[in-house]
Structure 1
Amino acid sequence: MSPEAVAEGSTGRRYRSKKQRPCDLCRSRKIQCKLQGNEAACELCRKLGRQCTFVIAPLRRKYRPRLENGSADGEGGRLEQHGGGAQDGEAQQDQSGAAAEGAAANGDDSIMAMDTAPLWLQMADSEQTLSPQTAANIMSINWGSMDFSMGALPSDVQHLPPNELGGFTANSLSPTSNVPHPVHLPVSSESPNSSHRGDNAIASNARRSVSQSQDWSGNFSLDSKEGCSNVFVGLSSEFDPSLLRHYFYNMYDIYPMFRLHVRKLVDDEKMPAHDRGTVAGHPPMPTAPLPVQFLLVDDNVWKEEEKATERLFSSNATEADDAVQLNQLVPADHGARLVKLYSQFVHPGCPVLSLSQLSQMFDPETRAASPVGLRSAVYALAAPFTFLDDELSVSKGYLQVPAEDLWAIAHRSYHRAARSSHLSLLQLCLLLLQMPPHSFVAAEPPAFWALACSALAIAETLGLTIEPSDWRLPRKEVMLRRRLWWVTYTVHTWLALVCGQPSHIHDGNWDVSRLTANDFEKDHPDPDIQNAILQQIPICLAQYELSTIAADVLKEFYTLRASRESLTLGALLNRAQPLRTRIETWRQTLSFLSKPASELTEEEFEKGAALRLSHLTLEILIFRALLRPLLPHAIPAAENSKEPISTIFENCFTCAKVATEIVSSLRAKHFANFWPHYTRYQLCYISTFVLLNLAQSTTNEMAVKYRALLGKWRDTLRIQAQAWPLARLAAMRLDAIFWKGLSSVVHGAGPDSPAVMLFKENGSKGSGE
């Protein structure tokens, strides 16, 4: 359709006009397709660096049979309930489009994008809408109940700018509106408005039809780069795609670093157009509601993993050969001491074995009956605690526990055992997931996530997804099955989050009730071990409960569907409220979780350190989602100081500050405890969260504040990494960013953003020194 088709003197194609069709993009966003003069592209497409397309056929209205009262069953009937028919609905759409058009004229692309999810307060069945009071409750998230001082969100929803309400205006939420009685929104990963998914499909089809005519040179290939692996950056990844969209990429869409590069394939359509560079002879960078990035990893990073794999199968050893080797590596007396260390320092926090199994390994007369792989993994996990045993601490000076060889035996045994189906196979798999990395400054290879998925597959094969309480089984076997499921659930959920992968656990496919203290074996002849188990039981229960909240954070904010449907601040707040309520309820389960960190005793801080870090990681993930639409160029200056935007910014800083203080308070005695494997990724979240807030600062004061906090956090990581190997990955990641220059990390915020202006004023690339 050419611009000549537009009536003379008109500057836009009428919304829903049959003669003057809007382009595909404007129609998918339900805004006015506005032309200027003789331009071939409308204002929105021209601003986003694309051409208007008209490849999607007009949607045909589906007429539904009339009921006896003459009203249609469905949308028409609902419109009549609100006192208006289809014409009123179209008039409201035209007003919405005009508002978005004005935003585009002022250069506020993201404000316009935030206004294109209408009816986000509508019920999933589209039968009822929320009252103003219920809408206000959704916005009133009780952030102040955390263990740091935070302001509450507004009690009046009208404080939220109209653009943030996904199409609602103050009038549509006024007390005089004809709405049904208040109802609560269900917590669901699906959008309340199914038509929004249809709009996403239309926009996706339009982008796909345009991209089919494009081609890119081999320089842009992902898989043809020799000696380089490519890893997709998931939405919940510690790298944070929302932060990566601000990076400064070269002409081949790569942000180069040392042995690790970031490759951008699709840009975020909400980002300023200035950052979308073009390559000669190629069309502009494609855009979408969500950015798409990959990590290009030098294969040398995983060289140690490759060597370990080669050693694993080079000996052609059988299970019997490995049993002989294990007995040679670990004498009987040392083996008993290692089992005792495991029982006291590892088992209480990771109860995947039964006490009878540990007792069997402890006794030299019966240890041969234990699976070789399990025994080897137990020895290896106990190796870091040998300094706590009188004899092993002395012998360690002359003869180290060969942890590398022990893990090799455990891996070989796992591959052999995978041909059969026993609880011991899952136990061994879960212990292998706690294996320390070969390099603490590099992330795990893809095989690690595959192993986490294997653990879930084994659990499903063994029927651990079904409640066994009423089965004809020995009581201790029932207890073990229940514990194994919840350990599997927790490990898989957290690894899905930190690896940026979708969880393979679906709520409809398992039915095991929450664990209680009665599901743990407590009777141990050694009083020290028994006391350690008793102290750790409430910690384990809290960790398993927190994992269910983590699963819903992943489902509500970090699946593809949820991310595409929750594009407005209002929709994001709607999803955050029930999660924050559950977190607050969870914090009341243990007294030391509800206390400020400054009021904790030394013992309470030590017991709850890992839990607090996990809790803060979930808070960061929720805030990360709320920050998606709050780009500097998208927020009018007058709105920065208004709720809920001002409260979100304040709470983000407080959350980052508390996380920094908790990590800096850790001492050597805390490092000596057993920490979950995913802890090292949780530390990385703090770094990217501070960087994201720095990039999206809306004032100079905010940018200065986050720059100072980033420096403090870097110093904390550098110091802690000297004694705590789990902190080395986060320290290396942050050092690489400073090495490249902070200005290149905030570049996408725009030349007029406070963060970019801050580094310009400093007259440096923001190296931080």
Structure 2
Amino acid sequence: MRNQSTSSESFPPKPRKFYIQSQFGHPRTPRSRKNRPCDACRRRKTACIIPDKPPCLSCKSRGFDCISSSGAGPTASSPHPGSDASASDSQPLFSVNQASSTPVLPISRILNQNLDPGSASVTADGLLAPTQGISPRDPAAVPATYTLEDIPTKTAHCMGPTAEQDTYLLDAFRSVIMSEEEVDADIIQVYSGDRGSNEDPVHFLLLQDEFPEHTNRAMEAASHGIESTVWPYGPDLVRLFFRHIHPVYPIVSKVRFLRQYIRAKEEIPTSLRGAIYALACVFWNCDPSLRNRRSFVQHELLDHAHSALRRELESPSLFKLQACLLLLHLRPPEIDSVETPSTWILTSQAVACAQMMGLHRDPRPWNIVSSEKKLRKKLWWATYVTDCWSSISHGNPPHISADSFDTSPLDMEDVRFDEDVPDDLSSLVDSSDTSFRVVDGARFMKTVEIAQCLRTVLDCSFQIKPTRDPTIPSPKAQLIRARHTLVDWLNLLPQALGVGSAGGPLNLHNNIPLHLSYYAAQVLLFRALMHPATKEARVDPESNLRQWFSAALDEFKSFTTFMDSLCGDDLGCFWPRHTRSQLILCGNFLIYMFLLAYTPHDIEAAYRLLESFQQSLQRLETAESIDGRLVLRPVTLRINSFFAQASDLLKGASSSSTSIGVNVNTPMTPM
């Protein structure tokens, strides 16, 4: 007895082990030890909540099989329960370079090079526990390379400076947000910042893509409606899109889209499929093999695409941004003579989508795959161009301000990315569209350059409250610099981006919208230089109007020459939606110069330009292209209205001015 007592005093009793017989299939609350979680929730470290019987809330919302094996849960490398069996055999759309020296770590792991040992990590219960074994200050702690686009069932949202947590606090503590009520999120750091350059850390919030059942039903109905409408001609429409629209507006990630389309097209956002089908159906009769088959009504596809997009934007992605941008360029209604407000509203939607994904931030120093950096840059600048021209269409300030983004400029490699179609996908496009064409990339980059120059004009001359900063050049100096930029742009334009003669190659027809954007930018530049266009300025030799009028009149002759060179076949190319507003700007500027001309020589010269422009419009009105005629209609109405009322407008003109003979009912005199 003594020995036994001594022994018990020397060695403390071992703690008792409690064994709880767990089971699966009964109602379960979070952290329940009596009822096992399902394999999916155990693997994802998500609270498994079963109100009555399986499936749990998480599996039910995702459509997974809610099961629990008797052994340990599936490993991180095993396929996700309920996932497509072929998914493990398919490569991710954004693959990580295997030769990279930066290893790929789990997406939920927060890496921070300034972190001290002992920071928190997430346990199987979703609790925070000390991290053992590695410090980010250790040389072995190499930053991970992430993808922000191909995270299964999750969407990456950029956390800006005013997000729910301070960026430097997130930088100092490894943090993961896990919810006990099924909805979970994760935070990753893609850039640790550079305090020497005053660059803050960049974090993204990863949210679960979960929608109410009625939203899922609506999106499925839209997808079914689109595919049933185009069946069995969906692949033909895809081919037409990459033949006619993509060379002018190369914003769709070509190979990525084609690979997903041939693998499982229903996984492509409905809005993007609908936008591509709708834009392509306009060119149905351009293909002799399709001309005598059924055609499609664009608005039927458009309705389904917009219905889906309204719900899909709850989880923005690069594909959905591409849909936002494409849906702006559908055929305008025949009754419209001015741009509809929907263009401006859809633009704000695209800008918001881009900013939610952080496209307004420069991705070059981020720890994300190189291919995704290129696509993010290209889509940001496409959004920038859209915002610029949409704001001009309605006279509104742009959504994107000059100090609201730091995305680096485009280069040819950004535009080239994802354009060379591999052999296994070549059946979806014409043989001439399988390889990247440098001229297409150069055209897009030149379009961006025009928008950048135009933004200089807008920011220094068309603001509601102009900036009064003595450290920056005066508005006039900025405008003169912008004029030199536009002159250089045209003089240095490659020959391949010129405008060909009738019957020229297709790529020359595709250059027409680029040249039209140049002339519209030139109009706004001269309007800014000649501001204010008042009666007093018209008679004042020292006014801005008089100083710049002769240069504007002389340089804008090239616009009427450009219009005279167009033929009916040219109108059959893809016309971005903003070309209507650009033509209106150019036509109205001709009227502007005629009404503000002072000398008889200038009055007659301005009138001859108007005559030439009207003759070009009358000649092009007979073209077969419906879209071409719709582009010309608004400016044609304005020019015809001017000529119909020209005599009456000038009857009250000053009798003291010299009159000139022009081709109207009565002699015209200057104002």
Q: TM-score, normalization: structure 1? A: 0.52
Quote the residue 1:591 is aligned against: 494
Q: CA deviation at 1:746?
A: 5.9
Q: Which amino acid aligns with 2:407?
A: V
Matched, 1:522 2:419: yes
What is aligned with 2:314? 419
1:336 alignment counterpart: 235
Alignment deviations for residues 525-582 of structure 1 (CA, whole Å, 9 cap, x no partner): 44411346433001111111221111111112211234999xxxx9764342111122
Please name the residue that 2:268 is paired with.
370
Q: Quick check: 1:496–1:502 contact (8 Å CA) kept in 2?
A: yes
Given candidates 557, 575, 584, the residue that maps to 1:675 is 575
Residue type of the alignment partner of 1:402: V
Aligned to 1:735: 640
The amino acid of 1:359's aligned partner reads L
Deviation at 1:631? 4.8
Residue 699 of structure 1 is matched in structure 2 by 599
Could you report, residue by residue, the CA deviation over 1:440-468 in whole angstroms, capped at 9, with x for unpaired residues? 64223223212111211111111110111
CA gap of 1:320–1:682, structure 2 versus 1, over 3 A, is same
1:635 CA displacement: 5.4
User: Distance between the aligned counterparts of 1:698 and 1:678, measured in 2?
Assistant: 32
C-alpha deviation, 1:367, in angstroms: 1.7
Question: What does 1:302-701 align with in structure 2 at a 5 Å threshold?
Answer: 318-332=218-232, 334-360=233-259, 362-363=261-262, 366-395=264-293, 399-439=294-334, 441-519=336-414, 520=416, 521-525=418-422, 526=426, 527-531=431-435, 533-562=437-466, 573-587=476-490, 589-592=492-495, 605-629=508-532, 631=534, 633-634=536-537, 639=541, 648-701=548-601
Query: Aligned partners of 1:711 and 1:475: how far apart in 2?
Result: 53
User: CA-to-partner distance for each residue in 1:688-718, whole Å, 9 max, x for gaps?
Assistant: 1111111111122322222232122112112
Show the 5 A alignment for 1:723-762.
723=623, 724=628, 725-739=630-644, 741-743=645-647, 751-752=654-655
Residues 1:355 and 1:732: Cα distance change in structure 2 (over 3 Å): same
CA contact (8 A) 1:619 1:655 kept: no
Counterpart amino acid of 2:273?
Answer: R
- The residue that corresponds to 2:613 in the other structure is 713
Q: Which runs of 5+ in 1 are unaligned?
A: 1-315
1:5-55 Cα deviation digits (max 9, x unpaired): xxxxxxxxxxxxxxxxxxxxxxxxxxxxxxxxxxxxxxxxxxxxxxxxxxx
Q: What is the CA–CA distance in structure 1 between the aligned matches of 2:573 and 2:497, rounded to whole Å? A: 22
- In structure 2, the CA distance between the partners of 1:629 and 1:371, relative to structure 1 (3 Å rule), is closer
Gaps of 5+ in 2: 1-215
Q: Which residue does the alignment assign to 2:51?
A: none
CA distance in 2, matches of 1:762, 1:423: 55
**In the alignment, residue 465 of structure 2 is paired with which amino acid?**
R
How far does the alpha carbon of each residue in 1:491-511 deviate from its partner, in whole angstroms, 9 at most, with x for none? Answer: 111111222111121121101
**Map 1:145-156 → 2, pairs under 5 A:** none
SS of the equivalent of 1:413 reads helix
User: Do 1:357 and 1:370's aligned partners in 2 also have CA atoms closer than 8 Å?
Assistant: no
Could you tell me how far 1:605 is from its partner in structure 2?
4.9
* Aligned counterparts of 1:660 and 1:549: Cα–Cα separation in 2: 22
2:498 and 2:511 in contact (8 A); partners too: no
Distance in 2 (CA, whole Å) between partners of 1:591 and 1:692 is 32
Higher relative contact order (CA 8 A, sep 6+): 1
Residue 744 (structure 1) shift: 5.4
Contact 2:354-2:360 at 8 Å conserved across structures: yes
**Cα distance, 1:331–1:596 mapped onto 2, change above 3 Å:** closer
How far off its partner does 1:435 sit? Answer: 1.5
Q: 1:344 to 1:473 in 2, by over 3 A?
A: farther
Seen in structure 2, the aligned counterparts of structure 1 residues 514 and 563 have a Cα distance that, compared at 3 Å, is closer
For residues 660-700 of structure 1, give each alpha carbon's deviation from its aligned partner in whole angstroms, at most 9, with x where no partner exists. Answer: 11122112332222222101111111221111111111122
**Would the aligned equivalents of 2:580 and 2:632 in 1 still touch at CA under 8 Å?**
yes
> Which has more helix, going by share of residues?
1
Question: What is the alpha-carbon distance in structure 2 between the residues aligned to residue 650 and residue 597 of structure 1?
Answer: 29
Q: Deviations over 1:299-345 (max 9, x none)?
A: xxxxxxxxxxxxxxxxx98222222222221113x111111111222
Taking the aligned partners of 2:353 and 2:313, their CA distance within structure 1 comes to: 9
d(CA) in 2 for partners of 1:744, 1:400: 47
8 Å CA contact retained: 1:340, 1:362: no
Q: Is the 8 A contact 1:360 1:370 kept in 2?
A: no
Give secondary structure in 2 for the equivalent of 1:507: coil
Q: Secondary structure at the match of 1:522?
A: coil
- 1:662/1:531 CA distance change after superposition, 3 Å: farther
CA 1:524–1:588: 2 relative to 1, 3 Å:
farther
When residues 587 and 743 of structure 1 are mapped into structure 2, their CA distance, relative to the original with a 3 A threshold, is: same
Distance 1:572 1:629, change over 3 A: farther
Structure 1 residues 446 and 762: CA distance shift in structure 2, 3 A: closer
Instruction: Assess if the C-alpha contact under 8 Å between 1:493 and 1:551 holds in 2.
Output: yes
Q: Which residue of 1 aligns with 2:189?
A: none
For residues 659 and 448 of structure 1, what CA distance do their matches in structure 2 show? 26
Q: Structure 2 length normalisation: TM-score?
A: 0.59
Judging changes above 3 Å, is the alpha-carbon distance between structure 1 residues 595 and 337 closer, same or farther for their aligned structure 2 residues?
closer
* Secondary structure of the structure 2 residue equivalent to 1:751: coil
- Residue-pair matches, total: 437
